[in-house]
Structure 1
Amino acid sequence: MTDDWLRHNRENWDDRVGVHAASEFYDLPGFRAGADHLRPFEPEELGEVAGRSLLHLQCHMGQDTLSWARRGAAVTGLDFSAEAVATARALAADIGLADRARFVVSDVYEAATALAGERFDIVYTGLGALVWLPDLPRWARVAASLLAPGGVLYLVEFHPFTELLGDDGTSVERDYFDREGQVYDFPYTYTGGPALTKTKQVQWHHTLGDIVTALAGAGLRVERLAEHATTMWPRFPVLERVSAREYRYPAGRPRVPLMFSIRATATA
């Protein structure tokens, strides 16, 4: 495992931004025209956000962040990729939300320093974020420190069980309890081509128990843990599309959880 994981991951994500911004997967023209980027269950689980301050950790190009802003939240997005933050700021301006959305360049572990001790009503983190972090308890402590008293942490992630499945989505091929960092050198991102130039990346597998325990250890009270039978993209060829941004196993076939969400509150 490389000691330069942060540098490799930042370079890799900087390189992805141009590819993602031009992709059909992110569909920035559709988003500018009003398309929502949240999963259908998210607004229901989190509740009313109008008039509340919301911090989105590891926000990438800001579409989820700005989807909450469209619902009335005063949002701050934080990401370690300066390229992603520049795209998010431009997107906010394009859709007329620059006055209600700011974006900050920072590694998530340094978020409290980057935000000068500011506290938020809601700390939100979205899909595909946690696998890039080696120290989950540290992440949870940072997230908890950014919450105002009584504030809510809302986390939505791909279910860690999906990391065990082979490419066909029907067979278990990996060890659920293998937490060692894995170095990958792959020329493409999940949206397809063109090829990247910064191809090395480092990821970690965290079990569902690891995640819940980290939040509890940071002093947060877990109120809800929901496992979802849908995901946002056709990760496995067996999945079928059921809406614009939802895919699931076909009816009549055994299912596994594809995403999960956690709502937790600050107790002090």
Structure 2
Amino acid sequence: MKNSDINMRSIKDYTQSNRMAWNQIMPAHQKAARARLDEAFKNSSHSVIKSPEMDEWRKLDFKGKDIAHLCCNNGIELMSLKNMGAGHCVGFDICDLAIEEAQHRAMTSNNECQFVCTDVFDISEEYNSTFDIVYITIGALGWMPDINAFFKKVKDILKPTGAIFIYEIHPVTEMLPTDGDHEAHPLQIMEPYFKNEPYEDTAGLDYVGKTDEETSTRYWFVWKISDIMMAIIDQGFNISRFVEYSHDVSEMHSRNQEASKEAGIEIPMSYILVANGSAT
């Protein structure tokens, strides 16, 4: 898909459709997990960030650093970093119900993270050159209709020497059947890697409660590793770390992970990328 011609539709067309779908499915996610998460974060040292991600965070010396989390969902990753000593933390997400949950959890757990409901492409200029690190987590990039415009926004809100931290689903998994596709054999290539149009779907978004609830039409964009890297490089960042992993982080490819291990042919299913800005 060409960034200059996103299927003849505007970025806003896609993001508002996705916003509606997320607001529709969020009650199912909250029914399955909200009470448990609220209880867990009453512990001021609670964190959902584990290895290998935590190992990479330590290398960034993030304590005291100001962090923006784009597509933060219900805020638990950012709240975890705050619990571990991060500085000023702000999460941004387009889903009204996810931000309401994050704000409530932060308030009731005395966690000082702030959460803002906004399309990430519309983040206010008041946040420009504010953050030391921009954090992008699992499943965020697939909702972005324009990867170049997205990383332009990342650059805008970062300080000149700030860093990008990405922990994401590897696009190789997009070629494989999901756990819900029981008729397909694990590791069978079902879709192209070079995908030029977004997927349109109404089912399968409740990866938390595992229900069959549907949403209105939403759009998922498959960005190749080269798309992501070049969008970052084109904004003047230097990629300092790129590590690929054989474990699934999407909660939709456990069958593929197990099958690959059994066959002794582990494939890339997730990755961490760290990039740094330059003052020049």
TM-score, length basis structure 1: 0.87
Give the one of 94, 100, 112 matched to 1:86: 100
Alpha-carbon offset, residue 7 of structure 1: 1.9
Paired with 2:194 and 2:95, the residues of 1 have a C-alpha distance of: 30
Going by fraction, where is strand more abundant, 1 or 2?
Answer: 1
The aligned residue for residue 235 of structure 2 is 218
Alpha-carbon offset, residue 27 of structure 1: 4.2
The aligned residue for residue 21 of structure 1 is 30
The aligned residue for residue 53 of structure 1 is 66
Paired with 2:42 and 2:262, the residues of 1 have a C-alpha distance of: 33
The aligned residue for residue 206 of structure 1 is 223
- Equivalent position amino acid for 2:117 in 1: V
The aligned residue for residue 110 of structure 1 is 122
**CA contact 2:128–2:158 (8 Å) conserved in 1:** no
- Equivalent position amino acid for 1:70 in 2: N
Alpha-carbon offset, residue 91 of structure 1: 0.9
Is residue 147 of structure 1 aligned with residue 158 of structure 2?
Answer: yes
Paired with 1:219 and 1:165, the residues of 2 have a C-alpha distance of: 33
The 3-state SS of whatever aligns with 1:50 is coil
Alpha-carbon offset, residue 166 of structure 1: 2.1
Paired with 2:260 and 2:158, the residues of 1 have a C-alpha distance of: 36
Paired with 1:103 and 1:92, the residues of 2 have a C-alpha distance of: 9
**Consecutive unaligned residues in structure 2, runs of 5 or more:** 1-6, 179-184
**Consecutive unaligned residues in structure 1, runs of 5 or more:** 241-247
Alpha-carbon offset, residue 116 of structure 1: 4.2
- Equivalent runs, 1:150-169 vs 2, <5 Å: 150-167=161-178, 168-169=185-186
Alpha-carbon offset, residue 221 of structure 1: 0.6
- Equivalent position amino acid for 2:253 in 1: R
Compared with structure 1, are the counterparts of its residues 30 and 260 closer, same or farther at alpha carbon in structure 2 (3 Å cutoff)? farther
Paired with 2:28 and 2:8, the residues of 1 have a C-alpha distance of: 25
The aligned residue for residue 55 of structure 2 is 44
- Equivalent runs, 1:169-248 vs 2, <5 Å: 169-186=186-203, 189-191=206-208, 192-193=210-211, 195-196=213-214, 198-232=215-249, 233=251, 235-240=253-258
**CA contact 1:2–1:183 (8 Å) conserved in 2:** no
**CA contact 1:81–1:105 (8 Å) conserved in 2:** yes
The 3-state SS of whatever aligns with 2:72 is coil
Paired with 2:53 and 2:102, the residues of 1 have a C-alpha distance of: 21
Paired with 2:247 and 2:35, the residues of 1 have a C-alpha distance of: 18
Paired with 1:234 and 1:134, the residues of 2 have a C-alpha distance of: 22
Query: Cα RMSD between the aligned structures?
Result: 2.3
The 3-state SS of whatever aligns with 2:255 is coil
Alpha-carbon offset, residue 149 of structure 1: 2.4
Comparing 2-11 and 187-196, the one that deviates more: 187-196
Going by fraction, where is helix more abundant, 1 or 2?
Answer: 2
Alpha-carbon offset, residue 26 of structure 1: 9.3
The aligned residue for residue 245 of structure 1 is none
